[in-house]
């Protein structure tokens, strides 16, 4: 039975409509697990026709083998240098450590990261922020660094953005065998976005608002899956 995470409400009103956001707990998931089996098993007893199933980008990436232990990452000197200038936020460490910056260089290419860093260095002087990630792109922005609130062993791993999230959403929808929609989401306590879904753009924008306060929680809640259900 889904229950609210601490400090998070089960219901929210968006555009005059009330929705339930139901966190679904799972066992610890690793690279050897099949995402479809994990999701279908987790939601089986609670899923209704008309629900929307949302899964975090992190659980998708982990099952795709895109989580890397810190000890396996050897940051180059450039990664050490660039990571010193990254602003850390309450949502996570981002690229503010050599290991996550190293993975950004690998994912996005050194030229793109250098251009992003150079532009951001200039525009920050004029009080403008966010240019680094705008230029570096979503693959850099979505890199998830280790934090103390994360469940082991992922508190010592760097997780990259998942591959083909729209295809993942479509596959999950087909395998759930119900009249439901599916979204792969990147949601934290500062906001979020939809990486891939079976929704149209307007519905994706509405879903971001429905999940704006991050009902899954930010740390050890072990709820990487959730249901959205219209109640009125």
DSSP string, 110-173: HHHHHHHHHHHHHHHTTT---HHHHHH-HHHHT-B---TTSPTTGGGEEEPPPS-HHHHHHHHH
Nearest in space to 142 (alpha carbons), one of 78, 195, 218, 189: 195
How is residue 89 annotated by DSSP?
B
Task: Please enumerate in sequence order all residues whose Cβ is within 8 A of that of 58, keeping only pairs 6 or more positions apart, or say none.
Answer: 144, 154, 159, 224
Nearest in space to 3 (alpha carbons), one of 156, 231, 229, 226: 226
Q: Note the pTM of the prediction, 2 decimals.
A: 0.88
Strand runs labelled E in the chain: 11-14, 17-24, 52-56, 67-69, 157-159, 181-188, 191-197, 225-230
Enclosing H/E stretch for 25 = none
pLDDT tens series, the chain, 232 aa: 555 566 678 999 999 999 999 999 998 899 999 999 999 999 999 999 999 999 999 999 999 999 999 999 999 999 999 998 886 655 567 898 999 999 999 999 999 999 999 999 999 888 888 889 899 998 998 898 887 777 888 889 999 999 999 999 999 999 998 799 999 999 876 667 899 999 999 999 999 999 988 888 655 557 899 999 999 7
Domain segments of the chain: what residues? Answer: 11-66+162-230, 70-159
Q: CA-to-CA distance for 198 and 107, rounded, in angstroms?
A: 26
Enclosing H/E stretch for 80 = helix 77-83
The predicted pLDDT at position 178 comes to 79
In the CATH hierarchy, which fold is given to the domain comprising 11-66+162-230? Answer: 60s Ribosomal Protein L30; Chain: A; (3.30.1330)
Question: Using DSSP, how many helices (H) and how many strands (E) does the chain show?
Answer: 9, 8
- Give the C-alpha distances (Å, rounded to integers) separating 23 from 13, 60, 160, 227: 17, 16, 23, 7
Cβ–Cβ < 8 Å for 105, 133: no
Q: CA-to-CA distance for 226 and 229, rounded, in angstroms?
A: 10
């Amino acid at each position: 039975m889904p229950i609210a995470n601490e400090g998070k409400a089960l219901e929210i009103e968006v555009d005059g409509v009330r929705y339930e956001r139901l966190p679904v707990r799972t066992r610890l998931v690793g690279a050897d697990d099949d995402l479809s089996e994990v999701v279908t098993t987790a939601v089986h007893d609670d899923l209704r026709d008309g629900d929307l199933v949302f899964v975090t980008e992190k659980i998708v990436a982990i099952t795709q083998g895109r989580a890397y232990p810190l000890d396996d990452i050897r940051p180059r000197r450039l990664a050490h240098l660039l990571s010193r200038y990254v602003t850390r936020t309450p949502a996570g460490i981002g690229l503010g450590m050599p290991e996550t910056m190293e993975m950004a260089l690998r994912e996005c290419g050194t030229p793109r990261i250098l251009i992003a860093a150079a532009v951001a260095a200039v525009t920050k002087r004029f009080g403008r922020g966010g240019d680094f990630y705008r230029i570096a792109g979503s693959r850099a922005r979505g890199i998830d660094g280790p934090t103390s609130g994360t469940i082991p062993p992922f508190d010592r791993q760097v997780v990259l953005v998942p591959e083909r999230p729209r295809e993942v959403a479509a596959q999950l929808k087909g395998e759930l065998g119900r009249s439901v929609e599916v979204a792969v989401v990147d949601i934290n306590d500062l906001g979020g976005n939809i990486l891939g879904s079976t929704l149209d753009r307007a519905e994706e924008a509405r879903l971001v608002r429905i999940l704006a306060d991050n009902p899954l929680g930010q740390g050890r809640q072990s709820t990487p899956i959730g249901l959205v259900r219209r109640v009125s």
